[in-house]
């Protein structure tokens, strides 16, 4: 008797789960009324935008006629905007792709060599390296709904083609407070400073965690937190790796 009841409960739960899985394909029940039938699409197009935090680390030798410092850590906040598409292969698995414009800023600081300056004494310097890199990037991703909810996990890869690379180098006097360069300032631009060339291609695997938000018939938004892992040097000749942390919002219409 007890086994029959357990079997009945399990059968009911399985029926409920499978019926729900069919009902809320793509995560949403857009069949609002039998009088207003709606065929749930499998393919969606949309736009995306995100706020991105970049954490750089490596060993970048900076030279101004001679090696004067090594940059090891930097950070920056950038943005990515583009278009995307998503195809639901099953009610719980989706494949997506996007094409975006990606800015990768980096701000580095390193102590410079102390120099004796007559008659003021020893001058202490700090060197700054501001990098502004831009890529046209494509992303290929897959995602899995969690337990028939609107939460999901995903993984993918980002491939970027370099389209812009601008670098600015500065030197500033830290002490003494009254220290000045020849032009009377405490900060000067280093015109002939160089860092090794940037790679023309950028590869970045990523993991995602997000939530799909219903916005109405055939429309939804994906809110995604993602982490990109450094596997390829940004620089051709020096160690320069970058972690990428993103808050991404995608809008889809089927």
Is 190 inside any structural domain? yes
Chain mean position to CA 52: 5
- pLDDT tens for 70-95 read 888 999 999 899 999 999 998 889 99
- pLDDT tens for 124-145 read 888 888 988 999 999 999 999 9
Whole-structure pTM value: 0.79
Is 7 inside any structural domain? no
Q: For residue 125, what pLDDT is reported? A: 82
Is 48 inside any structural domain? yes
Q: Which domain holds residue 240?
A: 40-253
- pLDDT tens for 211-240 read 999 888 888 999 999 999 999 898 888 889
Is 84 inside any structural domain? yes
How is residue 26 written in tokens? 């793509």
Is 14 inside any structural domain? no
CA distance 45 to 219: 10
Count: domains in the chain: 1
- pLDDT tens for 163-191 read 988 888 888 887 777 777 777 677 888 76
Is 29 inside any structural domain? no
Q: For residue 113, what pLDDT is reported? A: 75
Is 44 inside any structural domain? yes
Is the model's pLDDT at 20 over the cut of 50?
no
Is 27 inside any structural domain? no
What are residue 203's DSSP bridge partners? 159
């Amino acid at each position: 008797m007890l086994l029959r009841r357990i079997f009945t409960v399990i059968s009911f739960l399985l029926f409920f789960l499978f019926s729900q899985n069919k009902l809320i394909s793509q995560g949403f029940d857009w069949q609002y009324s039998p009088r207003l039938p709606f065929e749930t699409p499998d393919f969606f197009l949309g736009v995306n935008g995100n706020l991105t935090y970049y954490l750089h680390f490596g060993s970048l030798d900076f030279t101004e006629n001679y090696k004067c410092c090594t940059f090891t850590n930097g950070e920056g906040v950038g943005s990515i905007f583009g278009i995307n598409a998503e195809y639901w292969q099953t009610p719980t698995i989706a494949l997506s792709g996007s094409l975006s414009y990606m800015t990768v800023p980096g701000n580095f600081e390193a102590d410079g060599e102390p120099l004796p300056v007559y008659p003021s004494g020893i001058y202490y310097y700090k060197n700054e390296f501001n990098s502004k890199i831009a890529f046209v990037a494509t992303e290929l991703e897959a995602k899995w709904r969690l337990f028939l909810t609107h939460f999901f996990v995903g993984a993918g890869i980002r491939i970027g083609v370099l389209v812009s690379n601008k670098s600015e180098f500065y030197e500033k006097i830290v002490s003494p407070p009254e220290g000045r360069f020849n032009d009377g300032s405490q900060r000067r631009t280093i015109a002939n400073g160089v860092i090794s060339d940037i790679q023309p291609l950028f590869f970045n695997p990523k993991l995602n965690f997000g939530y799909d938000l219903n916005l109405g018939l055939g429309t939804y938004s994906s809110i995604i937190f993602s982490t990109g892992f450094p596997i390829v040097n940004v620089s051709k000749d020096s160690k320069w790796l970058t972690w990428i942390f993103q808050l991404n919002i995608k809008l889809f219409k089927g």
